[in-house]
A and B are shown apart, each in its own frame.
Chain A
């Protein structure tokens, strides 16, 4: 087991390096000279050349990549071109806010998806099943940024009981568990939860359905076990798969919340990314994407290891 974990971690190292390479290349494919973004248009050529040397931009690409990598490894993601502040400072707050949103959405998705999928499996082939599956399809087909707007219209405009945008009503830009913040979380979290709800409902229906068809369930029924007892057995067997899907979804939600954060003005990584794109603030863009992608890689690793720990049959070479 320990050997397996070590091997999985070792396998993650080249992936993480390649992720870093892709983020580094984002700057290279971006049109325009990064120096021009800092200097005024009429700056003399000598000044531009000097800056280029200072930033190491006159070096060949592999050297530049190595320089960038050593800085990143020391936790230095550069400075924002727009604000001059270190990227890590802005990023830390934004990651915290996005994490709150993504975890809330994953939990809502887990509960709603399990209930829908479980009901569909228990009453397979009936109207309940069709209704639950219909809802799941709607969940994966709906443009969630549009759903966010619909919810704002319903619960902030027509029946104003929840705030439409922002993270707090006291002007603070970071999350806290108090009444100034919690109402602001409800609409964005529900909106973001729509995607995992549909996927988890499908997974739970499939997995639970397969388990209900197995011989040991027939045996349990035959010896007179009540439905609740059977339910316990199904949960125990379905949990590893469902947890794995949910873990991966958390990673997707962290990276995929940009549209929802834009709709609700939620000051997370998505909004940071959005601002960076339109200010052509490449260091912020690069740093945010790197952190989110590495987070996703780490979650993948954690899910794999946890799943193997719970159920050794899924171990992969």
Chain B
């Protein structure tokens, strides 16, 4: 397979120390784009966490008489959806599931993929061969297709959507972790630690892990944006979240019929996905620059 899709994993220059993290923080604080994105995301996170407190209505409370009212309709700041439910309330509650569905697979894949990649890179030999060749097989599927295939076969539901997305991201994280670990393993100071009698566990904990964690973490943050789009995409297709549960992708799907009557309202859930995904992407780019990972 071609390696072009793979981000170039650079071997970190120096072991991470306290001054390194102070530098990272200083660089991040000087980057206006990252600051704005972080502020938007924090604001959004606070809003969706406080949804039960700040939302004006219940997420399932609808009214047959008040279907598809426009933005600014008295009592409904952002109008109502096709079942007369308050859009602002649905968007606030919908964000909870969308964020959860988008972030959980990346976290799980970071744990599982990171561990497998570390083992493959550090052990080398047939262990590496076994893990990496299995990874190649998953790379033979475009990621959207793989996600749809697995959750399509397993059936609808939030758990299956998370499982399928996790399986999509694990191979990608394995590849990055393995390539960084292999690079670190062959450095002189690891060699000298081994010569001075350090055990495998000590070498991994003291010398390898601190150098591998940073680049892999940055790579994982860049996956959150993709994961949000894919997770909401699965719900948009009717996999993943099921009605009447509020979720941005599913809301976008059920509002498709309303594009002729209330186009602006039909756009709102997608706008939320877009803003979240864009902010995560830009923040990840900022983090990459600040941490000096290529």
Listed in ascending order, the chain A residues whose CB lies under 8 Å from chain B are: 14-16, 18-19, 22-23, 26-27, 29-31, 137-138, 140-146, 149-150, 152-153, 157-158, 241, 244-245, 248, 251-252, 254-256, 258-259, 262-263, 273-274, 276-278, 282, 285, 289, 292-293, 296-297, 300, 303-304, 307, 316
B154 within 8 A of A: yes
Report chain B residues within 8 Å CB of A256: 142-145
- Given known A143-B277, A256-B144, contact A22–B267 (CB-CB < 8 A): no
Indicate if the CB atoms of B260 and A157 lie closer than 8 Å: yes
- Given known A145-B236, A146-B273, contact A296–B149 (CB-CB < 8 A): no
- With both chains docked as a complex, state the minimum distance between the C-beta of A250 and any C-beta of chain B, in angstroms: 10
Report chain B residues within 8 Å CB of A138: 278
Report chain A residues within 8 Å CB of B285: 137
Indicate if the CB atoms of B144 and A149 lie closer than 8 Å: no
Indicate if the CB atoms of A29 and B153 lie closer than 8 Å: yes
- Given known A141-B225, A141-B277, A143-B277, contact A296–B2 (CB-CB < 8 A): no
B266 within 8 A of A: yes
Number of A-B contacts (CB under 8 A): 148
Indicate if the CB atoms of B4 and A259 lie closer than 8 Å: no
Indicate if the CB atoms of A150 and B270 lie closer than 8 Å: yes
The 0/1 profile, CB within 8 Å of A marked 1, for residues 234-274 of chain B is: 00111100000000010010001001100100110011011
List the 7 shortest-distance A-B pairs measured between CB atoms, nearest first: A146-B270, A255-B142, A255-B145, A256-B144, A277-B152, A141-B278, A18-B137
- The binding surface of chain B is classed by DSSP as helix
Indicate if the CB atoms of B2 and A153 lie closer than 8 Å: no
Indicate if the CB atoms of A274 and B237 lie closer than 8 Å: yes
Q: In the bound complex, how far is the Cα of B138 from the Cα of A22, in angstroms?
A: 9
B158 within 8 A of A: no
B148 within 8 A of A: yes
Indicate if the CB atoms of A285 and B154 lie closer than 8 Å: no
- With both chains docked as a complex, state the minimum distance between the C-beta of A268 and any C-beta of chain B, in angstroms: 13
B282 within 8 A of A: yes
Indicate if the CB atoms of B252 and A149 lie closer than 8 Å: yes
- Given known A29-B153, A138-B278, A258-B237, contact A244–B141 (CB-CB < 8 A): no
A-B contact pairs, 24 of them (CB 8 A): A15-B1, A19-B140, A27-B153, A29-B150, A141-B225, A142-B277, A143-B232, A143-B249, A143-B273, A145-B236, A153-B267, A157-B259, A241-B4, A244-B2, A254-B142, A255-B144, A256-B143, A259-B144, A259-B233, A259-B237, A276-B152, A292-B145, A293-B142, A293-B145
B52 within 8 A of A: no
**B142 to A, closest residue via Cβ:** A255
